[in-house]
Amino acid sequence: MMRQFDDPDQAVSIVAILFFVGAAFLLVPVLLSLGALNWVLVLLLIIGVAQVASGVGLLQTKRWAWPLGVAAGSLMAAFGLFRVLFSPINGLFDLLFAGIALYLLFRPSVRERFGVLR
């Protein structure tokens, strides 16, 4: 019997879905307020684009997608910590999505698939 999330295809698919959903929640407010861009919206735009690019690259098993996914997940976690102060529910969802994505990206089978050694 296979341990949970040892199948890299399943783990990568879950991470890609989390990144696509997370990016949608980040990019919609940015697109709705394009006239009033500030540093927070620019950060959200960068994170959202990184999540989409990483999700596509992960599904295509591109080697560059793994470090980009780790960076996007880490930025999302940091933003989630900041966001918890102002919007606890949204911040907790950010932390949950980022935590699950990072956990799956660091699974040995996923790291092996993308050629990432310890």
Structural domain that includes position 83: 8-113
pLDDT value of position 72: 96
Task: Lowest mean pLDDT of 25-29, 71-75, 92-96, 100-104, name the range.
Answer: 25-29
Residue 98 in domain: yes
pTM of the model: 0.87
Instruction: Assign 7 to helix, strand or coil.
Output: coil
Residue 86 in domain: yes
Question: For 33-64, what is each residue's pLDDT tens digit?
Answer: 777 768 878 888 899 999 999 999 999 999 99
Residue with tokens 């735009």: 45
Sign of the four-CA dihedral 18, 11, 58, 101: positive
Residue 48 in domain: yes
Q: How far apart are CA 73 and CA 98, in angstroms?
A: 5
Q: How many CA atoms lie within 13 A of 15 on its CB side?
A: 35
Residue 3 in domain: no
